[in-house]
């Protein structure tokens, strides 16, 4: 009995080992697990099978696209794009599956299944799209020190492209440009705006790229910087200021001339007045006396009579303007300082109004 128990247990162990060995032998791997390629290129996956197998299938998305069968590895595939081969001739344990001219709509899962107890392995396919890039507006001619702006449009990319700028082949500091992106259906448009001050003739280049693109797409334009024209504003300013100065001088000369002429007329007029007033027995200071700041009590204008109050005969009473009305003296020079007194008198102006003025002298 003991012997039979031992043999049973041995048999069980052997069975277990065999089963484990079989399970180990029936393994397979798919690589790469995550593949990124550019649209229009080829995507290659490898399946390594340890153990015996007969049929292998490849599925892209939900579509079974290729079947490989041993012993010779013949394959039947969905028309066109797909093919397979052994990794090295006569080594049936490794199969390469190739998708030619990959399209964006093939992004997603790629499944490989081996018939038997192998099951299925899944890989991820990412397809990038390289679009176009263009600097809008073409070549540009500006004046020195002018602020310039270039707009670069990258159309139909996936995923969001990296946009950068070069000036004369040197990378531009990214603080000088801004890039915004917008989804356009399945792809993306990006717009980048570069701003700087024009200093010298420059080649401006815009580049756009995605990770799988070896050589970025680019667009170049020329910035031609012309010297600033002479600053006319300074000249104009000089001319204008000199002109206005000359005008001002002329004006002043004119005013002085007019004033002198009027004064002369006035002097003649006043002389005449003085005579007339004198004949009316009023003591009126002569024009010379007025000039010396002495008494000028008043005079008759246009036949109207104005009589200065006798109280202010000692005071300065100057005619200020050319009108026919009389102004109050600005300064009253009185000998009666300390004894304030009032004086009321009337003046008549052209319009015939009687002005009532009240003078308080302290």
Ligand X SMILES: *[C@@H]1O[C@H](CO)[C@@H](O)[C@H](O)[C@H]1NC(C)=O
Closest CA to 190 of 201, 180, 203: 180
CB closer to ligand X, 144 vs 283: 144
Per CB under 6 A, the segment of 12-20, 188-196, 254-262, 334-342 that binds ligand X is 188-196
- Contact between 209 and ligand X by CB under 6 A: the answer reads no
Instruction: Determine the Cα–Cα distance for residues 306 and 289; give it in Å rounded to an integer.
Output: 19
- Contact between 173 and ligand X by CB under 6 A: the answer reads yes
- Contact between 189 and ligand X by CB under 6 A: the answer reads yes
Give the rounded distance of the alpha carbon of 277 from its chain centre: 81
Instruction: Determine the Cα–Cα distance for residues 280 and 272; give it in Å rounded to an integer.
Output: 13
Of 121-160, which residues contact ligand X (CB under 6 A)? 124, 126, 138-139, 155
Per CB under 6 A, the segment of 40-48, 222-230, 290-298, 318-326 that binds ligand X is 222-230
Q: E strands along 70-159, which residues?
A: 74-77, 82-86, 94-99, 108-114, 119-128, 132-135, 140-143, 147-157
Residue 14 is classified by DSSP as: H
Closest CA to 301 of 328, 273, 279: 273
Which stretches within 161-286 are classed as H helix? 232-279
**CA torsion angle 70 73 76 82 (round to 10):** 140
CB closer to ligand X, 189 vs 306: 189
Per CB under 6 A, the segment of 192-200, 249-257, 284-292, 302-310 that binds ligand X is 192-200
Instruction: Determine the Cα–Cα distance for residues 7 and 284; give it in Å rounded to an integer.
Output: 165
Instruction: Determine the Cα–Cα distance for residues 316 and 328; give it in Å rounded to an integer.
Output: 10
State the minimum distance, in angstroms, from the CB of residue 246 to ligand X: 40
- Contact between 72 and ligand X by CB under 6 A: the answer reads yes
CB closer to ligand X, 36 vs 41: 36
CB closer to ligand X, 207 vs 282: 207
- Which of 44, 70, 193, 300 binds ligand X (CB under 6 A)? It is 193
CB closer to ligand X, 75 vs 286: 75
- Which of 19, 222, 242, 353 binds ligand X (CB under 6 A)? It is 222
CB–CB of 37/128 below 8 Å?
A: yes
State the minimum distance, in angstroms, from the CB of residue 6 to ligand X: 51
CB closer to ligand X, 34 vs 279: 34
Instruction: Determine the Cα–Cα distance for residues 334 and 133; give it in Å rounded to an integer.
Output: 96
Per CB under 6 A, the segment of 3-11, 176-184, 260-268, 307-315 that binds ligand X is 176-184
- Contact between 225 and ligand X by CB under 6 A: the answer reads yes
Applying CB under 6 A, the residues found at the interface with ligand X are 34, 36, 72, 74, 103, 105, 124, 126, 138-139, 155, 173, 175-178, 182, 184, 189, 193, 195, 200-201, 222, 224-225
């Amino acid at each position: 009995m003991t012997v039979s128990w031992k043999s049973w247990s041995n048999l069980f162990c052997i069975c277990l080992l065999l089963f484990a060995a079989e399970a180990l032998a029936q393994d397979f791997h798919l690589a790469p697990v995550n593949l990124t390629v550019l649209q229009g290129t080829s995507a290659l996956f490898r399946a390594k099978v340890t153990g015996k197998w007969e049929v292998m299938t490849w599925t892209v998305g939900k579509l079974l696209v290729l079947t490989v069968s041993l012993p010779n590895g013949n394959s039947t595939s969905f028309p066109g794009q797909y093919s397979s081969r052994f990794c090295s001739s006569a080594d049936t344990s490794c199969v390469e599956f190739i998708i030619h001219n990959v399209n964006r709509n093939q992004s997603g899962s790629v499944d490989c299944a081996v018939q038997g107890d192998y099951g299925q392995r899944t890989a991820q396919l990412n397809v990038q799209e390289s679009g176009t890039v263009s600097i809008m507006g073409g070549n540009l001619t500006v004046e020195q020190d002018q602020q310039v702006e270039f707009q670069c449009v990258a159309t139909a990319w996936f995923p969001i492209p990296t946009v950068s700028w070069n000036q004369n082949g040197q990378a531009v500091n990214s603080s000088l440009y801004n890039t915004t992106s917008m989804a356009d259906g399945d792809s993306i448009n990006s717009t980048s705006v570069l701003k700087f001050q024009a200093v010298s003739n420059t080649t401006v280049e815009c580049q756009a790229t995605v990770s799988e693109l070896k050589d970025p797409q680019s667009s170049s334009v020329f910035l031609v910087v012309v010297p600033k024209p002479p600053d006319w504003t300074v000249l104009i300013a000089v001319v204008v200021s000199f002109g206005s100065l000359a005008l001002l001088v002329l004006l002043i000369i004119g005013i002085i001339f007019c004033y002198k002429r009027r004064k002369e007329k006035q002097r003649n007029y006043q002389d005449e007045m003085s005579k007339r007033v004198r004949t009316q027995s009023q003591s009126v200071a002569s024009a010379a006396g007025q000039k010396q700041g002495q008494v000028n009590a008043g005079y008759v204008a246009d036949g109207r009579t104005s009589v200065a109050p006798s109280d202010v005969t000692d005071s300065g009473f100057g005619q200020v303007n050319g009108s026919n009305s009389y102004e109050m003296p600005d300064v009253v020079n009185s000998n009666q300082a300390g004894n304030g007194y009032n004086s009321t008198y009337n003046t008549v102006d052209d319009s015939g109004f009687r002005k009532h003025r009240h003078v308080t002298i302290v």
